[in-house]
């Protein structure tokens, strides 16, 4: 008998809870294995205790095309420390019962296809993940992966870029699950001193396409930009490079707490 899936996912429900609190979601990105998986585990627990809403957990890859230098270097350090997808799943599994924040795994197509879509999704779900982001997966392939992910209780979150044509944006918004990931810049990840005003227009367009929450990422580096994302009517702000840089520049002992302190600053701007 085919498993009946719930009408709304854990990610969607989390966004509904946050909306009822009249604020937006804070969604930090952490590179698993940077500097090692033990520290990553401690960072995840500290972020959970700090009250972040969703955590995007990167699986390191040797050719991260969507990422800027900060996250590329983090991936390189993680690979050098011996981090593999299997070890990331093991780390996540070890946190069951301790970690309450939904985890969205950020990976690239090659590790996913190498493992096999069904096998990867099964392993991710058993480890406790709530969703997947695969930035280099074409929409046509995503439409194949999405039902496979859903069968394991995972949301496949799709990305929209500023250069995405309107017709394709509509299709992406209709196909994404959990939330839609709006890339705020044309280019790779990295801190920016300011976000482009046209992002507000893109948020509005996406909300006209679908009732799914919209989270803005790429380039958000501080509380002021989180506030800006909120004024545009988005439902979440994703912070990657700015947090990854703080972890990289901290000692292993201080990194988890410094990551949490930074996210507490950002949380103050979500309402």
Domain count, the chain: 1
Question: pTM higher than 0.85, yes or no?
Answer: yes
pLDDT > 70 in the chain, percent: 91
> Catalytic annotation on 56?
yes
- The SS3 call for residue 236 is strand
- Decide if 251 is inside a domain: yes
Local structure of residue 204 (DSSP, 8 states): H
Catalytic residue among 34, 56, 123, 191: 56
- Decide if 225 is inside a domain: yes
Q: At 242, give phi and psi (nearest 5°).
A: -60, -40
- Decide if 12 is inside a domain: no
Domain holding 186: CATH number?
A: 3.20.20.70
What is the Cα Rg of the chain in Å? 17
- Decide if 213 is inside a domain: yes
**pLDDT digit string (tens) for 80-137?**
999 999 999 999 999 999 999 999 999 999 999 999 999 999 999 999 999 999 999 9
Q: How far apart are CA 31 and CA 29, in angstroms?
A: 7
**pLDDT digit string (tens) for 177-195?**
999 999 986 544 444 444 5
User: CB within 8 A of 192, min separation 6: which ones?
Assistant: 184, 185, 219, 220, 221, 225
- Decide if 15 is inside a domain: no
Domain residues for the domain of 136 are: 23-262
| CA end-to-end span of the chain | 44
- 135 and 68 in contact (C-beta within 8 Å)? no
> Catalytic annotation on 38?
no
- Decide if 253 is inside a domain: yes
Q: Which residue has the higher pLDDT, 4 or 107?
A: 107
Catalytic residue among 34, 53, 67, 123: 67
Continuous segment of H or E residues that includes residue 269: none
- Decide if 144 is inside a domain: yes
- Decide if 236 is inside a domain: yes
């Amino acid at each position: 008998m085919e498993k009946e899936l719930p009408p709304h996912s854990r990610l969607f429900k989390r966004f509904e809870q946050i909306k009822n609190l009249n604020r937006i979601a804070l969604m930090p990105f952490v590179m698993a294995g940077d500097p090692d998986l033990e520290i990553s585990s401690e960072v995840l627990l500290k972020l959970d205790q700090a009250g972040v809403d969703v955590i995007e957990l990167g699986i390191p890859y040797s050719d991260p095309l969507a990422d800027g230098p900060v996250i590329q270097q983090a991936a390189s350090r993680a690979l050098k420390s011996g981090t593999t997808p299997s070890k990331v799943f093991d780390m996540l599994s070890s946190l069951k019962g301790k970690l309450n924040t939904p985890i969205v795994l950020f990976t690239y197509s090659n590790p996913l296809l190498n493992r096999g879509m069904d096998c990867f999704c099964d392993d991710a779900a058993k480890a406790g993940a709530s969703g997947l982001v695969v930035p280099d997966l074409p929409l046509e392939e995503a439409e194949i992966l999405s039902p496979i992910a859903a069968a394991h209780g995972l949301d496949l979150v799709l990305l929209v870029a500023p250069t995405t044509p309107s017709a394709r944006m509509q299709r992406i918004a209709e196909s994404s699950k959990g939330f839609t990931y709006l890339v705020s810049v044309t280019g790779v990840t990295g801190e920016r001193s300011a976000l482009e005003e046209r992002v507000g227009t893109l948020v509005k367009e996406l909300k006209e396409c679908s009732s799914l929450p919209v989270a803005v990422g790429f380039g958000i580096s501080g509380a002021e930009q989180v506030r800006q994302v909120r004024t545009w009517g988005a439902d979440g702000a994703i912070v990657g490079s700015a947090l990854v840089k703080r972890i990289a520049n901290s000692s292993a002992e201080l990194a988890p707490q410094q990551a949490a302190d930074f996210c507490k600053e950002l949380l103050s701007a979500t309402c």
